[in-house]
Amino acid sequence: MAVRVQTADFDVGAEYQQLVNNNPADGAVVFFVGLVRDLNQGDQVKGLFLEHYPGMTERALEQIEADARARWPLGRVQVVHRVGQLEVNDQIVFVGVSSPHREAAYEASQFIMDFLKSRAPFWKKETVRDGSDHQQRWIDTAAKDTEALKRW
């Protein structure tokens, strides 16, 4: 299965190899890696907790992959999303696709990321610095993420 949800970190090199090993048909690979950033809405971020809906998450990701395959000629699709407690600079998500053609690989990887952000049941709760203390808060959906779906 090309879709995984896990607490453990992932190795970008190994994920890339999954896309290219013994794959003579595809001339293009595009992959994206999402990381925990240190600043959100003007506040210093200390860490991020990622919750998900086990079972539905995998189904939703597989559906997004199927939708992408229906639109572009894709060879392989590799999606890894982490859950649990993450720190600044940690890897969150890997989305990689291979295709005979470059345009398809670029577009499909963006399509999968756009839908993953607002159609797969993940929720982020961030820990931010609050003076000398810390506070936890759930992250709201960004309008640009909802807007991003309209281009597809």
Partner 1 sequence: MNVLLFARLRDELGQDSIELDLPEPVQIADIRAALQQRWPQHQNLLASGRALVAVNQTLINNDQQLVSSRDEVAFFPPMTGG
Which residues are within 8 A (CB) of 62 and not within 5 positions of it... i.e. 6 or more apart? Answer: 1, 3
Tokens representing residue 52 in the block: 């998900």
- CA–CA distance, 79 with 9 (Å, rounded to integer): 13
Among 55, 73, 84, 100, binds partner 1 (CB under 8 A): 55
- Burial of 41 (C-beta count, 10 Å sphere; 0-12/13-18/19+): exposed
The minimum distance between CB 78 and partner 1, in angstroms, equals 15
**Cβ nearer to partner 1, comparing 19 with 61:** 61
The minimum distance between CB 117 and partner 1, in angstroms, equals 4
Contact status: 138 vs partner 1 (CB under 8 A): yes
Instruction: Convert residues 96-115 into a mask of x (bound to partner 1 by CB under 8 A) and - (unbound).
Output: -----------------x--
| Nearest of 141, 5, 4, 8 to residue 85 by alpha carbon | 8
**Cβ nearer to partner 1, comparing 69 with 119:** 119
- CA–CA distance, 45 with 105 (Å, rounded to integer): 32
Contact status: 121 vs partner 1 (CB under 8 A): yes
Residues in contact with partner 1 by the rule CB under 8 A? 34, 50-53, 55-56, 59-60, 81, 92-93, 113, 116-125, 138-142, 145-146
